[in-house]
Amino acid sequence: MRMRCSLAVRVSLTRLLSLSWIAVTQMVRTLLSLDHSRRKEEPKLIAEKLKSTRSGIMPTGYRPIVLIADDLDENRAFYSDLLEDDGYQVLTAEDGFQALELIRTYPIDLALVDVMMPKLSGLAVCSQIKADPATCLIPVVLITGCGAQDRVDGIERGADDFLTKPINRRELLARVRSLMRIKRLTDDLERAETVLFSLARSIEAKDVYTKEHCDHLSEYAVALGTRLGLPDEQVVALRRGGIVHDIGKVAVPEHILLKPGPLTAEERRIMEQHPLVGEEICSPLKSFGAVLPIIRYHHEKLDGSGYPDGLVGDEIPLTARIMATVDVYDALTTDRPYRSAMPRDSAFIEMWREVDLGWWDGSLVEEFERLINS
């Protein structure tokens, strides 16, 4: 039977979130400002964007940044004039290596890249942009004069759109505006994810004994999921789930969350609602669809004695069983108020004892033990 959050917990959640989102947003801004201080001095217009949009706020009058990569001066001048007149900031590159350096240095919103360039072709530039997790969401428009084959090659390398020479002014602006609208939506999702991760880490930071627990789980779960050959979507869900699996603890009072001794029956009832609260917090993000089962079910046990739903065996999604496996291992191998960290071998002995009790998936424990020992 699916449990529902109690009214008291919902009220508590609403109050806490109204405070937490403000606090976490400020945390994100602070962290980003520290990152910016390490960057080399940049032009005023670029610095304005770094200071504002990276903190999640789009200032009035903000102008998106377009990178133009073309080896011909006249082409760069033509594209620059056209885009600047339409309200964009423009950075230019004469070859592929310069383009990649600018992409890695500045917060580019969109890249116009000529296919035929010296040193590094536009196709190679597109491949590298799309292969880097830090830049893969930047829309890339390839400019070509060769037609169908360049388009096929560009699609294979992840290009988002194409322009064919000679360039039509209206078509260029229409394609740039369309991709910018999509980019703004993508940026909004990224900022929401950043705030969720920061909120999860702020909860973790309250307890000295769970320091880096989220990062450990994320790394372990991704490694195990990859070893098992899971699809990319599920591996990404494990990475995210490792960070936010306990985000619902934002609704658990600190005197329960940090209690060094055993919980009372009422305190345990409140604690056991955190997977439901976490699912509710993350459910508005459509990109977190595959993460929600991990959040809700990572405390279930194969024999049905877990929570919140008492699922049995294969009713528990595989990704949630993976998270439960790595969660138990990390808990056993780190210090807790009631015991010291176990050595690796002792931790697996305990995990196998609990497999025999019917709690954990023995096939996953076996694969994880091989992974840890490899």
All domains of the chain in start order, with CATH: 39-188 (3.40.50.2300), 208-373 (1.10.3210.10)
More confident residue, 163 or 45: 163
In angstroms, rounded to a whole number, what is the distance separating the alpha carbons of residues 291 and 238? Answer: 7
What mean pLDDT is predicted for residues 15-40? 39
In angstroms, rounded to a whole number, what is the distance separating the alpha carbons of residues 213 and 86? Answer: 48
Question: In this predicted structure, what is the pLDDT of residue 204?
Answer: 72
Q: Rounded to 5 degrees, what are φ and ψ at 348?
A: -70, -30
Other beta carbons less than 10 A from residue 284's beta carbon: 8
Question: In this predicted structure, what is the pLDDT of residue 61?
Answer: 59
Task: Kindly report, residue by residue over 314-365, the tens digit of the pLDDT.
Answer: 999 999 999 999 999 999 998 776 678 899 999 999 999 999 999 999 999 9
Task: Kindly report, residue by residue over 133-192, the tens digit of the pLDDT.
Answer: 889 889 999 998 876 777 888 889 899 999 998 999 999 999 999 999 888 877 777 777
Most confident among 29-33, 69-73, 118-122, 151-155 (mean pLDDT): 69-73
Compute the chain's Rg from CA coordinates: 25
Task: Kindly report, residue by residue over 261-285, the tens digit of the pLDDT.
Answer: 889 999 999 999 999 999 998 888 8
pTM attached to this predicted model: 0.60
Task: Kindly report, residue by residue over 66-110, the tens digit of the pLDDT.
Answer: 999 999 999 999 999 999 999 999 999 999 999 999 999 999 999
Q: What is the band of 372 on the pLDDT scale with cuts at 50, 70, 90?
A: very high
Task: Kindly report, residue by residue over 175-209, the tens digit of the pLDDT.
Answer: 999 999 888 877 777 777 777 887 787 777 666 55
